[in-house]
Amino acid sequence: MAIDPLSAVPSFSKSAKREAFASFKIIKNIDLPMAWFGKPRFINKLDYEQDKVQPLNNPNKPLIDKFIIFNKKLLEAGIIDKSFNITKNYGINDSGEIILIDIGELFDDPIRVKKQLLDRVWDKNCVAGCIKDKEVREYFIKEMDKNFGISD
């Protein structure tokens, strides 16, 4: 018997809300510059505004290098973005710095962080596959493996 995909929507929605609330709590309690997250201003429980940035829709090698440095700083603080989705979750601010613009998918649980790193989430089609230039995509995967890849 096939599962009706619409029946999964309420469960997904609840899960996404739980994840967002947990992520917002991390942001509010972590001792990092709020500029790294676009200086979020919370309007209500789920809505927020941020500084205007340029999304990283079409990254190049130097931007990937900056992206890796930024994410290493997050990891040193004990947090990561769930997917490292460079083309959708990150932007570049007026100062030329990489920031996280999707602040609803942060992990700080060491077990979940390790799982994401072990799973090499950056090599999934929904992440690396969004980098249009093949050479840049291959560079992204290679550099992410080099900087974040871990083995059991």
Residue 68 lies in a domain: yes
Closest CA to 86 of 40, 143, 33, 30: 143
Residue 98 lies in a domain: yes
Give the whole-angstrom CA distance, residue 20 versus residue 14.
10
Note the pLDDT of residue 12.
58
Note the pLDDT of residue 9.
55
Domain count, the chain: 1
Residue 1 lies in a domain: no
Residue 2 lies in a domain: no
Residue 13 lies in a domain: yes
Residue 28 lies in a domain: yes
Note the pLDDT of residue 118.
95
Place of tokens 């550099």: 143
pLDDT at 15 over 80: no
Mean pLDDT score, 65-72: 98
**H runs (alpha helix) in 6-133:** 9-29, 61-76, 86-89, 110-118
**Higher model confidence: residue 80 or residue 3?**
80
Note the pLDDT of residue 10.
64
Residue 80 lies in a domain: yes
Give the whole-angstrom CA distance, residue 82 versus residue 40.
18
Residue 46 lies in a domain: yes
Q: Residue 63: which domain range?
A: 7-148
Mean pLDDT score, 111-132: 95
